[in-house]
Structure 1
Amino acid sequence: MNEQEQIKGKAPVALITAPGSGQGKSMVTAALARLHRNAGLNVRVFKHGPDYLDPMVLEVASGNPVYQLHPWMTGESECLWRLAEAAAEADLVLVEGSMGLYDGAPSSADLAVLAGMPALPLIDAGGMAQTFGAVALGLASYRDDVTVREVIANRIGGAVHGEMLAESLPPDITLLGGIPRHPAMDIPDRHLGIVQAREISDLDERLNQAAQVLAEAGLSRLPREIELTARQPAPPPDDLVGKRIAIARDSAFAFIYRANEDLLRAMGAELFYFSPLADEAVPDADALWLPGGYPELHGETLAGAGHFKATLKAHHEAGRPILAECGGMMACMEALVDQEGKRHAMAGLLPGESIMAGQLVGLGIQSLESEQGSLRGHTFHHSRVKTSLTPVTHTRRQRFDSAGEAIYRHGSLTASYFHSYFPSCPTAAAALFLRP
């Protein structure tokens, strides 16, 4: 398709946001998607910013793939293209914001302004009465270019509480609905965020119950329609034609952006998946990707995965490229020390060990500068690496333009806590899977 061809779409679109984290955005967005999906609508959902876990639940809720939108990491043009493409085919488009409406740079508010979509704040009203109106007014008036016409009250105590909240709002903001406290609206979490969708055995049932809670709260009405127009992106270069790339994917290695997989295929690669937790061998491939995840929760299993570790070592000794991101790098160390202080033997491709720190160690948007260009992404981890290796370079923090995560190279292995968003620089991404 011609690079200049326009995509036009028109659909009800809303950004589900909040004053901050912990307000219930993830489950309410998922419940809204399931509510309208159950009504027979084609629902597309997106997530603002770097996040692997929320999209897993949103995909189950909507029945459609979920992609990230972030004006800096994914780029403004990609944000507009994905939204316009979704609006052209879907009956409803929802975007789950990150943190609070104005948090981050670029923030969820910046994405809303870029796309011309209204912000729909979800405010935790537990322990709150008339101050609810003040919070809503502050969100709506903080910036003149952000549109807030309606708000949702979460965790209300009952009908009378809901009436008090509605009465507290300024004249130009209405209460779309009040969601009562309900077990179906809760979702378990752990140190990196919500629990992976595949680990919640009754997720479908929970989502259907949550959808019913929203229906009874009066949240069945669709947001306003908006028009979205964007340019169809140019096809990526075919740098990976004929290349076979093996990808670890299971509960320990699950942090994979759909856009990254899409790009590898669009550049000509053939993808093969395997499970280290099941002690499956690394497939015969030209390159290997060990993505992030939760290896620290499966230390004993990975330590006993002799077949996986032997074939991983053979792949490395053959000089075939390996990209090990975060949890993938932890699996390549000599050992992993888990949250309880237990030491588990890993693959030993890198000297040293990874140690769970019991607190957040790295967080933020970063980029990896290379000869091919700037490969953007992020970091988010609760462990540290202790190694004798000297980094070949460091990523750059977007906010402070300072040194970020260390990038290690050992033979054909590139390892770091940095999670790459491949479409931000396709040629740089492809270079990670090609022999020098």
Structure 2
Amino acid sequence: MKGFVLAGTRSGIGKTTVSMGLMATFEDVAPFKVGPDYIDPSFHKFITGNKSYNLDLFLMGEEGVKYSFEKHSKEISIVEGVMGLYDGLGNSLDNYSTAHLSRVLNLPVILVVDAAGKSTSIAAEVLGYKNLDSRVNIAGVIINKVNSEKLYEMLKDAIENYTGIPCLGYLKKDENLGISSRHLGLLQADEVEDLKEKKAILKEEIKKTIDLKKIEEIANLEKSEKNIDIFKNIENLYVGLKVGVAKDKAFSFYYEDNLELLQRMGIELIEFSPIKDKKIPEVDLLYFGGGYPENYLEDLSNNKDFLNSLKEFHESGGHIYGECGGFMYLSQGIKTLEQKSYSMAQLIDCSVKMTGRLFISRFGYVDVAFGELNGKAHEFHYSTIDEIGSDERVFKLRKSDGREWLCGYKNKNLIAGYPHLHFFKNLDILKQILEGAKKCHI
């Protein structure tokens, strides 16, 4: 079994580019992403042909990330980090960061550093990352944006002399190698026209300038005892239940582990498209995940047959659950930055508007209270509530700094709001939603 974490000294350092290049180069790769991100895993899947799984200590817990990593590992597991190596929730070293995850899974870390504007000082940078937490095994360094092989040799000599950490190679400074932030933030992997070409170029460059044999040696993991199957007691708990999952260009943000957990519980998943389909499938529960509904407003608003079918399902007592983009779609409507409004499903008594910037006051990890039940969630959205009606709100959200607010709009058997739930730490909430659908099914 082989595996390692590819981490950066900061966001924007190029770890996604290096990660995808290594994923393209090795065979039979199991890709993973630290944190709650939905975008990078879609690129991992495009590059490797294998599903990418999130490893998030806040949303999944230690047992959850161990379960997912063990279950989905292949010949070599490559875990792309998030932000800088030690960046997480607060300044504790147990802050759900990439470093924290590497310790929980006992994985070696390969650190990506930037060559720009540096000489011997690059060694001080690497040494600082090594010394901040001696429990983190920084086993190698890859230098990004290197102008020449001569510069790489000089930087390599400084790092190895003063830190004792081996340099494993470099990527040259070339704008054609990187995946731009506009691609990662606005487009899904299959919409990036030149991604196949970038994959081929990256693969060739990495073969030239990075020591793959050394990486394989670093990635050799000691055999460990198998972890407890934490979901054995809920296996086939909901056999016969059918859940419709909105899946198209507007709705694509789902944790793969969430969908697989539903299937393990005995649930049949049926995909449908609010853009293309004329009616909802015959199911017990509709699940609208996040995505980019704001990019397909005309298609969604004009599909009247589907909207009428959805409304009939809701009015007849059908169960519906929506997150973020799904919540926006289930609202009265969405207003664009140009102040043009598009009607949506109109099942929730509120509307939303696009803001053009991340809604930072609600961004990040939150604790969730759903009645007497407690869970964990994450918010990340560029829209906000425009008009609020009288529908009940059933989620009480709380950030670590004490701020609280209500979300999770309820109308009949519909619950929808901005929070993204990973089911591993929200099993009780999930089961309550499924129990309602099960009663209707019976």
For the structure 1 residues 306 and 213, does the alpha-carbon distance in structure 2 shift closer, same or farther, using more than 3 Å as the test? Answer: same
Residue 95 (structure 1) aligns with: 79
Are residues 1:75 and 2:23 paired? no
User: 1:336 deviation in Å?
Assistant: 0.5
Following superposition, the deviation at residue 101 of structure 1 comes to: 0.6
1:311 maps to which of 297, 309, 312 = 309
How much has 1:350 moved relative to structure 2? 1.5
Q: 1:180 to 1:213 in 2, by over 3 A?
A: same
Cα distance, 1:272 vs structure 2: 0.8
Alpha carbons of 1:286 and 1:64: their partners in 2 closer, same or farther (altered >3 Å)?
A: same
Match of 1:50 among 36, 39, 45: 36
Residue 396 of structure 1 and its aligned partner are, at CA, apart by 3.4
Change (3 A) 1:262 1:252: same
For residues 225-268 of structure 1, the C-alpha deviation after alignment (integer angstroms, 9 at most, x for no partner) is 11243223342424422111111111110001111111111112
| Stretch moving more, 333-342 or 111-120 | 333-342
Give runs of ≥4 in structure 1 deviating > 4 Å: none
CA distance in structure 2 between the aligned counterparts of 1:257 and 1:93, rounded to whole angstroms: 18
**Contact 1:50 / 1:377 at 8 angstroms: preserved in 2?**
no
Q: Does the C-alpha gap of structure 1 residues 347 and 216 become closer, same or farther in structure 2, counting only changes over 3 Å?
A: same
Q: How does 1:234-249 map to 2 (within 5 A)?
A: 234-237=231-234, 238-249=236-247
C-alpha deviation, 1:184, in angstroms? 4.4
User: Please, what TM-score do these two structures have when normalized by structure 2?
Assistant: 0.89
CA distance in 2, matches of 1:64, 1:395: 36
Which residue identity lines up with residue 203 of structure 2 in the other structure?
Answer: A
Aligned length: 420
- Displacement, 1:162? 1.0
Note closer, same or farther for the CA distance 1:163–1:192 as it changes in structure 2 (3 Å cut).
closer
Could you tell me which residue of structure 1 aligns to residue 92 of structure 2? Answer: none
C-alpha offsets along residues 27-69 of structure 1, whole Å, 9 cap, x if unaligned? Answer: 21111011012xxxx2112111101111111122222221111
Match runs of 1:56-135 below 5 Å: 56-87=42-73, 90-104=74-88, 105-135=95-125
Closer/same/farther in 2, CA of residues 127 and 338 from structure 1, 3 Å limit: farther
CA contact (8 A) 2:290 2:326 kept: yes
**Which amino acid in the other structure matches residue 256 of structure 2?**
R
Farther-moved stretch of structure 1 (365-374 vs 290-299)? 365-374
Q: Partner of 1:420: helix, strand, or coil?
A: coil
1:364 aligns with 2:364: yes
Classify the secondary structure of the residue corresponding to 1:350: coil
| Distance (whole Å) between structure 2 residues aligned to residue 402 and residue 231 of structure 1 | 36
Contact 2:391 2:411 in 1 (8 A): no
364 and 397 in structure 1: CA distance in 2 versus 1, 3 angstrom threshold: farther
Q: CA deviation at 1:177?
A: 0.8
Structure 1 contact 140–146 (Cα < 8 Å) conserved: yes
Normalised by the size of structure 1, how large is the TM-score? 0.90
**CA–CA separation in structure 1 for the residues paired with 2:298 and 2:32:** 35
RMSD of aligned Cα (Å):
2.1
Q: CA deviation at 1:404?
A: 4.9
**Partner-residue secondary structure (3-state), 1:240:** coil
1:409 counterpart = 2:410: yes
Alignment of 1:99-248 (within 5 A): 99-104=83-88, 105-169=95-159, 170-190=162-182, 193=185, 195-221=187-213, 222=216, 223-227=218-222, 228-229=224-225, 230-237=227-234, 238-248=236-246
Q: Which runs of 5+ in 1 are unaligned?
A: 1-10
CA shift for structure 1 position 191 = 9.3
CA distance in 2, matches of 1:404, 1:126: 43
Please report how far the alpha carbon of residue 154 of structure 1 lies from its aligned counterpart in structure 2 after TM superposition.
Answer: 0.8
- Deviation, 1:315, is 1.2
Name the SS for the 1:302 alignment partner.
Answer: helix
Counterpart code for 2:192: I
Whether the 8 Å CA contact 2:368–2:398 is kept in 1: the answer is: no
For structure 2, which runs of at least 5 residues remain unmatched after alignment?
89-94
Aligned partner letter, 2:342: H
Amino acid corresponding to residue 187 of structure 2 in structure 1: V
SS at match of 2:252: coil
Q: Secondary structure at the match of 1:14?
A: strand
Between Structure 1 and Structure 2, which shows a larger proportion of helix residues? Answer: 2
Alpha-carbon contact 1:337-1:344 (below 8 Å) kept: yes
Confirm or deny: 8 A CA contact 1:392 1:409 kept in the other structure: yes
Amino acid at match of 2:57: P
* Residue in 2 that maps onto 1:382: 382
Could you say what secondary structure the match of 1:13 adopts?
A: strand
- Which deviates the most, 180-189 or 60-69? 180-189
Q: Secondary structure at the match of 2:152?
A: helix
Whether contact under 8 Å (2:183, 2:192) holds in the other structure is: no
CA contact (8 A) 1:326 1:416 kept: yes
CA distance in 2, matches of 1:432, 1:305: 27
Distance 1:397 1:29 in 2: 34
Q: In the alignment, residue 115 of structure 1 is paired with which amino acid?
A: L
Paired residues of 2:141 and 2:166 also in contact (CA < 8 A) = yes
SS of residue paired to 1:99:
strand
Contact kept in structure 2, 1:274 and 1:280, CA below 8 Å: no
Question: Which is bigger in relative contact order (C-alpha 8 A, separation at least 6)?
Answer: 1
Residue 340 (structure 1) shift: 3.1
Task: Check conservation: 1:321, 1:434, Cα contact below 8 A.
Answer: no
Instruction: Check the 8 A contact 1:239/1:430 in 2, yes or no.
Output: no
Whether 2:433 is the aligned partner of 1:432: answer yes
- 2:248 maps to what in 1? 250
